[in-house]
Amino acid sequence: MSTAVITGGTDGIGRGLAEEYLRRGYDVLVVGTSKTKGEMFARSAERAHFLAADLSRVSDNERLVAHIADRFPAIDVLVLGARYHRPARLVTPDGFESNFALFYLSRFLFSHGLASALGRAEAPVVLNFGGAGSQVPVRWHDLQLEQDYHGVGAMGHAARLNDLLGVHFVAQHPDIRYVLNHPGVVATSFAGEYDRATSAQVSHLRATGKSVATSVGQILPHLDPPGRNGLTAVVEGALVPLAPKWFDRGDAARLHETTERLLAELPR
Ligand SMILES: NC(=O)c1ccc[n+]([C@@H]2O[C@H](COP(=O)([O-])OP(=O)(O)OC[C@H]3O[C@@H](n4cnc5c(N)ncnc54)[C@H](OP(=O)(O)O)[C@@H]3O)[C@@H](O)[C@H]2O)c1
């Protein structure tokens, strides 16, 4: 039996992928905060599972990773899709800026924490909705975005960090494929809180974005085993080159070390 684990699988593109893997006969576990949405998914099939968690909390990530690794010894597909827009900077109880915590750190903890389980699958793949070639500069001296916070910019910065997460992950786990994906504009829930101006923009994006089904159709060919290992970056269904400047191994190693240090410094 194949297994797919999908954070942000209770809504949007993650939910679309969850339904596709159910159709394919996989065991599918989705993670989100909404019990209503998650339990509705879990009721849809015997192989559909839901775990509720606030993935902006390090302890919730660690609890889930341990639970999932115990319950599913081999994981074929890991999708990292949870996100939540905030118009004003918010610091989590762990002391991290909320986008750093949910959009980047959770994905770091899931990628590395489930690497052994991924390594036991025949052709494992991780899908991370990163920048896929984002040229946003890394704020090395302000990773917690204390200066000039902007909600959309904060998500863009976290997406850039996820590109570097992918670079370092494949250096450590060359047998696990890692796909960075930017889906373009997709009509989803756009989970989050929005001020009036951004809310109008989001309504426009919801009205004009491609459907979840179209987006899933653009993503799947890159997840199905293509006969190559390592990192790929995909924007709206098309492969993009891994430009050395933006997928720099030194930057990726630096971010990895910084992240490990931040986690080690957390009071337990
Ligand atoms: N849609 C677009 O146009 C677009 C464009 C560029 C990139 N992307 C990227 O594509 C990915 C999927 O986006 P989407 O638009 O499909 O998602 P979405 O509809 O906004 O859904 C977000 C998901 O994240 C979950 N989530 C939010 N806060 C959470 C938390 N604290 N803990 C755990 N789960 C949490 C939500 O679950 P609950 O509701 O259950 O909490 C939901 O399943 C994201 O990484 C996004 O940045 C999307």
Domain tally, the chain: 1
Q: How many residues does the chain have?
A: 268
| Residue of higher predicted confidence among 267 and 145 | 145
Res 225 pLDDT > 90: no
Cα gap 259→187, rounded to integer Å: 32
CA distances to 119, 166, 199, 215, 260 from 219, rounded to whole Å, are 22, 17, 27, 6, 30
- Show the tokens assigned to 155: 């998500």
The 3 state secondary structure assigned to 41-53 is HHCCCCCEEEEEC
Mean residue pLDDT of the chain comes to 97
Res 55 pLDDT > 70: yes
Give residue 192 CA to ligand 1 midpoint distance, Å: 9
Cα gap 6→65, rounded to integer Å: 12
Q: At how many degrees (to 10) do helices 106-113 and 151-172 cross?
A: 20
Please calculate the CA angle 56-44-77 and round it to the nearest 5 degrees: 50
pLDDT score for 36 = 98
pLDDT score for 109 = 98
Counting Cβ atoms within 10 Å, is residue 173 exposed (0-12), middle (13-18) or buried (19+)?
buried
Instruction: Name the one residue in this structure whose structure tokens are 């339904």.
Output: 19
Res 236 pLDDT > 70: yes
pLDDT score for 215 = 98
Q: Write the CATH number for 236.
A: 3.40.50.720
Cβ atoms of 176 and 115 within 8 Å: the answer is yes
pLDDT digits (tens, 9 = 90+) for 80-138: 999 999 999 999 999 999 999 999 999 999 999 999 999 999 999 999 998 999 999 99
pLDDT digits (tens, 9 = 90+) for 8-21: 999 999 999 999 99
Q: Which atom of ligand 1 is nearest to the CA of 7?
A: 34
Res 228 pLDDT > 80: no
Res 249 pLDDT > 90: yes
Identify the residue whose C-alpha is closest to ligand 1 atom 31: 54
Q: Which atom of ligand 1 is nearest to the CA of 188?
A: 19
Domain hosting 102: range is 3-264
pLDDT, mean of residues 203-213: 97
Whether 131 lines ligand 1, by a CB cut-off of 6 Å, is: no
CA trace torsion 255, 260, 262, 266 (10° rounding): 160
Give residue 37 CA to ligand 1 midpoint distance, Å: 13
